[in-house]
Amino acid sequence: MLSDIATITNLASYAGAGVCIGLGAIGAALGEGYTAGLANQAISQKRERSGDIIKNMLVGQAIAETAAIFALVVAVLLLFVKMPSDSLLKAAALFGAGICMGFGAIGSGVGSGFPGGEACMGIARQPVMSGRLTTNMLIGSAVCQTPAIFSMVVGLMLMFMDFSKMPLYPTWAALIGAGVSTGLAAIGSGYGGGKAAGASCEGIARQPESLAQVTTTMLVGQAVSQTPAIFGLLVSFILMFKSFPESAALNSSMALLGAGICMGFGGVGPGIGNGLTAESAVKWVARNLKATGELTRTMLVGQAVSQSTAIYAMVISLVLIFVV
Amino acid sequence: MAIEGVEIIKAAAFLGAGIAMGLGAIGPGVGEGYVGGKACEAIGRRPEEAGLLTRTMLVGQAVSESTGIYSLVVALLLLFVV
């Protein structure tokens, strides 16, 4: 029988754990595979530097792995922590937490693989720069992990906040929407940030004297790529903290669920697009240092236009939450 | 609880508005980013043509944006007109 609240809460918790680690394992595995593939290629070009290359590969893979470890932590908490089951809202929140962390780990895992692999190739190309390349890789992939960290924050808040005072309808939809919003929006930002970081490692190896400008451009480009994830986080926070008046009508629930879906999917494209722009800008700063100013300006204009669709998605979500 | 026909239509319209704008934003976001990237590449090769290249980039992005605006319009229609 599915009639009692405790059983349904357990059901949601176990289903959420499965979704969380199942989706969460995708990204890190892909990213680490990319790093390892390029490391092999790098060793085939410079066999005598294989020690440095393997060390760099393992450090890069360890960072890509953190996204999957976040997902594992949330899944284990969902499996083994006994949640108070005084309201069906807890079931919605636990499932939402699983969705959020599962989707949220994909982009960061894939993205962190790019700087790892390009840094390995860079060490084969410019062995003297191996220390600088590893440092730049670490900075770049750390920024890639922020969307996964946002997802973990929202996941843990959904798990441990007390929602029992809120009305079941329509808050259940707000909690699932909060998970979907941050989780999906994190995919694009993680992937895009990784593209920019990969190009910077390649650029530094090609043109060691461009180190400072390349790292700066990478960080600016990555910061813009992160904004869709921040929009997703903002919509999640509104959905979690706003108190909605009780309403048994289906339309008020669907408006809140729709708001989460809208911002979540809406953040994917601009995040990836901003990353592609930043990737090319960083790549060409390294090749043509004199054009750094032009390139940074063009990158920011291009990213701003690409960002506009994420802003449309945010406007529609806010209308769904506050107006209709 | 009894769910009435009008309520189901409203609910579907709200969910549909979210899905329309959400999925509709993916393509233009990626496409415009790709244009921006290629413009940066071209300016890196020929910095002296930066003005022409930026203009071409913006025109190209504006065309790519149109599908995002279609999604926005459909979402607003679903929210306020249907």
Q: How many other CB atoms are there within 10 angstroms of residue A241's CB atom?
A: 11
ipTM: 0.92
Q: How far is A14 from chain B (nearest CA, A)?
A: 26
A120 contact partners, CB below 8 Å, separation of at least 6: A35, A38, A39, A41, A42, A53, A56, A57, A60
Minimum distance, in Å, between the CA of residue B77 and any CA atom of chain A = 11
Among residues A297, A164, A117, A310, the alpha carbon closest in space to that of A227 is found at A310
pTM: 0.94
- Pick from A254, A271, A312: which is nearest to B15 by CB? A254
Confidence tier at B82 by pLDDT (50, 70, 90)? confident
Helix, strand, coil % over all residues of chain B, rounded to 5: 90, 0, 10
Domain A2-322 matching CATH 1.10.3720.10: the answer reads no
pLDDT score of A3: 65
* In chain B, residues 53-82 whose CB comes closer than 8 Å to chain A: 53-54, 57-58, 61-62, 65, 68-69, 71-72, 75-76, 79-80
Cβ atoms < 10 Å from Cβ of A274: 38
Question: Domain-by-domain residue ranges, chain A?
Answer: 2-322
Residue of A280, A299, A321 for testing the chain B interface, max B β-carbons within 10 Å? A280
pLDDT in the model for residue A4: 86
pLDDT given at position B5:
83
Smallest Cβ–Cβ distance between B35 and the set A263, A302, A316 belongs to A302
Query: Which of A288, A294, A306 is opposite residue B32, by nearest beta carbon?
Result: A306
What pLDDT digit, counting tens, does each position of B23-50 carry?
999 999 999 999 999 999 999 999 999 9
In this structure, CATH architecture of domain B2-80? Up-down Bundle (1.20)
Find, among A20, A23, A154, A161, the residue nearest to A79 by Cα.
A20
Write out the H or E segment, with its range, that includes residue A133: helix A130-160
pLDDT of the residue at B3: 62
Question: Which residues in chain B touch residue A283, judged by CB atoms under 8 angstroms apart?
Answer: 40-41, 44
Looking at beta carbons, which residues of chain A come within 8 Å of B37? 276-281, 302
3-state secondary structure of B25: coil
Average pLDDT taken over every residue of chain A: 94
Res B4: pLDDT: 73
Q: Beta strands of chain A (E only): which ranges?
A: none
pLDDT less than 70: residues of chain A: 1-3
Verify whether the Cβ–Cβ distance A299 to B40 is below 8 Å. yes
**pLDDT on residue A248:** 84
Given a cut of 70, whether residue B2 has pLDDT beyond it is: no
CA A206 to chain B, closest CA, distance in angstroms equals 15
Cα–Cα distance for residue pair A268/B31, rounded to 1 Å: 12
Tens digits of per-residue pLDDT, B61-73?
Answer: 999 999 999 999 9
Rg of chain A on CA atoms, in Å: 21
